Chain A
Amino acid sequence: MIQDMQPETIVGACKDVTLLLYNELPRRVLYTEIETPYPDGKLIVSTTDPDGVITHVNRAFVEMSGYTEEELIGAPHSILRHPDMPPAAFKDLWDTVSRGEKWQGFVKNLRKDGGYYWVKATVIPNVRKGKVVGYTSVRRKPSRTKVEECIKLYPTLF
């Protein structure tokens, strides 16, 4: 399940927008200009079912997203979708993994407190006995130059 973001959990001055998840499910999103730096040396790991619903997260995921593990498990992965991310990026992600291939890209993620963090993400299909049973994403610390490029590029992709 996914809920609107609540003003009382937001830290700092925020903007307010409604995103359409899955192209049809409205979610009110509150977001600030506060960046949380990626933790050095760590990987952020999550697994979803074939529909993109979260089934597993590691501790670094919980710490960076600001949600509890209970809030994350069973939620669509778009719980982290930031309004600055162009839909084309996620279309490319899903098109790529649906073909059975690996996807890699730079993603700006939204925290529960309205802040954001940049990651370099790799997503792969989990194939068991020839069937796709889910997807796994592993994120690492991105280079600042790559992030700067995305900050310029992404607004042009809407």
Chain B
Amino acid sequence: MGYSGFRVIKEGLFGQKGWKPVWRDPEPKPEYDAVIIGGGGHGLSTAYYLAKEHGMTNIAVLEKGYIGGGNVGRNTTIVRANYFLPGNSEFYSHSLKLWETMEQDLNYNVMHSQRGLINLFHSDGQRDAFARRGNAMINQGDDAVLLDREGVREYLPYLDFDNVRFPIYGGLLHPRGGTARHDAVAWGYARGADQRGVDIIQNCEVTGIDIEGGKVKGVQTTRGVIRAKKVGIVVAGRSGQVAAMAGMRLPIESHVLQAFVTEGLKPVIDHVVSFGMGHFYISQSDKGGLVFGGDIDFYSSYAARGNLPMKEHVMDAAMTLMPMIGKAKVLRSWGGIMDMTPDGSPIIDKTDTEGLFIDCGWCYGGFKAVPGSGFSFAHLMATGNHHEPAAKFRLDRFRTGVGLMDEEGTGSQHNLH
């Protein structure tokens, strides 16, 4: 059944009793045309576009936990297209366009809010770098406005502009940047895929990948053997482990990234704001909580919880940038496991095993990529050809050195991106 304003009112009048679960809970079939390992944002959107764009409906998504339990339900929900290297630039541009039609396409309210993203700068050198980035964004067909100090003050009057150490020189405004409700994105794609016949199977961990004569034959799971002609690995922080089941060693190290939310407050921060000195960024959720975060903890980890030093760093940066935040109380903090690559850019590619595909390496920026990654990965799995906007996300770029995309120019070390 579809959603509409009328239905919300009607259900409100009748005690909200008419809502039904929006996807089935099927038993796994013995065989599918394709299975997707991992029911995060990327796995679900891949399944949705396989069904919708390529008519592949005899497929399953295998999720070891529950839908929304991974990074797709843990991130700070920033959606943007402000990359500047060829490869990344066209991909995120395409993904943002899919965001702009997602709600109509899925008939699902993901609360996508293009409230504008402002990246602050604090020196002449940083201004030059942001001017260059802004030009690349405009060349790509997206939007960017270079704000001077007074320009930023109009949007964000509450910042400490005259901080002695890090005065604010200006900011790069990306008006189409913003946030979305992360769980809703997972649920919307799950519902859309299910409606087209995709089996979404939760509590089903893949424990092995069956390969015969260089071809994939299916997977071993905690709910039995499932045969499949095509298998896609889309497991974010667990990519290294699942790829090892197919004998692969990936250019990935898993790291923990933390995030924080305060108690609910009246509207105070209307945009997404990032500090240019020290890693800190913030937005306010529709419930009123200030949602913010910083850098990864820097050491490899699968713990999905972080340590105190990074918490302190994030709080220091917050107080430096907007001293008013000292009045707010932090309610919760949590962590997620990030699949970090040596150049900070992702991988959407075939593997040496026929029929086995991989989509990984999203580092801490894969939420905004959910529609674009699913669209391009589905294209690759269905047709065997790379989809143009994601054609540069090759696995072999690390071996050959051709086409590395180190957006921040920090070098070949997994934790520096």
Whether A and B are associated in the same complex: the answer reads no
Residues of chain A at the chain B interface (Cβ within 8 Å): none
Which B residues fall within an 8 A CB radius of A?
A: none
